[in-house]
Structure 1
Amino acid sequence: MGDAGRPRRPWRSTALAGAAVVTAGLATARLGSGAVGDALGDALYAALVLLLVRWALPRMSSAARAGLAVGLCWAVEVAQATGGPARAVEAWPLLRYLLGTTFGPLDLLWYALGVLAAWGVIVWLSRRPGGAVRAASDRP
């Protein structure tokens, strides 16, 4: 627990996990191709969103954070159907990595699976004695 009874944000474990996910995502973008590369990229994006939600909301249960992460990913994907993200990317090309540009209904599945896999790893590690990501807020 942090100051005033608040749980501490899991800085180190989130940074390490985030670095691993970003590294895997960059490797996938560079080496992957086709449907498998796209699916893995979507799953890794969703895993990173879960890690960011975990860091930002340490008091929320891990299951609720997983649900929020899936919802955020789905909201970004559905927004792509409006063309708004594509226009934003035209103005600021780096937003492509955050917002994407093209709606793909199958991406919704890969986001959910990416969050589910990352959530499972977080919960498993938090339950191990001395687990690397143990925090009071990591209980399901």
Structure 2
Amino acid sequence: MMLRRLVACLAAGATVVAGLGVRAAFEGAAAKYAGDLLYTVLLYTLVLAAAPRLRPARAAGVALAASWLVELAQLTGIPADLAARSPVARLVLGTTFNAPDLLWYAVGALLCWTVHTTARAAVAHGA
């Protein structure tokens, strides 16, 4: 179980690096939606760091639900108020609701589920 947590933490770090790389290398819609996808990937890795025994489908569901919850919270204006006071809040919570983000969060969750399920099967079959 300790190895699973370590792998999840390393994946979280790699996801943050990927997100920063996307922001540095790209602009516009490509960077924005890649960032949305990676947001859910990061949440997925953090969920698995906290609960390493979760099955991929459940971890993907939790990460997707959390991503959607944050996005829908932007309809209230509370994240925008917090973001005005804190750059960290701005990165974590965003400021403005954007419906297409919901799709890209789902793509991120599906990607995580696919990679995790494939990796588990490979390990189980000794590949």
Structure 1 length-normalised TM: 0.82
- Counterpart Cα distance in 2 of 1:82 and 1:9: 40
Secondary structure, counterpart of 1:115 in structure 2: helix
2:26 is aligned to: 32
User: Which residue of 51, 54, 62 corresponds with 1:60?
Assistant: 54
- Counterpart Cα distance in 1 of 2:83 and 2:115: 32
Aligned partner letter, 1:11? R
1:95-134 map, 5 Å: 95-129=89-123
**Unmatched tracts of structure 1, length 5 or more:** 1-6, 132-140
**Mapped contact 1:89–1:95 kept (Cα < 8 A):** yes
Q: 1:9/1:97 Cα in 2 relative to 1: closer, same or farther (>3 Å)? A: farther
User: Which residue of 13, 16, 32 corresponds with 1:22?
Assistant: 16
- Counterpart Cα distance in 1 of 2:10 and 2:55: 21
Matched, 1:50 2:29: no
| Percent of aligned pairs sharing the same letter | 39
- Counterpart Cα distance in 1 of 2:108 and 2:57: 14
Q: 1:61/1:107 Cα in 2 relative to 1: closer, same or farther (>3 Å)? A: same
Which of the pair is proportionally richer in helix?
2
**Mapped contact 2:74–2:80 kept (Cα < 8 A):** yes
**Unmatched tracts of structure 2, length 5 or more:** none
Deviation, structure 1 residue 9: 6.8
1:85 is aligned to: 79
Q: CA RMSD in A?
A: 1.7
After the TM superposition, which of the residue ranges 11-20 and 44-53 deviates more from structure 2?
A: 11-20
After the TM superposition, which of the residue ranges 35-44 and 90-99 deviates more from structure 2?
A: 90-99
Aligned partner letter, 2:107? L
Question: 1:98-121 deviations in whole A, cap 9, x for unaligned?
Answer: 101110000000001011112211
Structure 2 length-normalised TM: 0.90
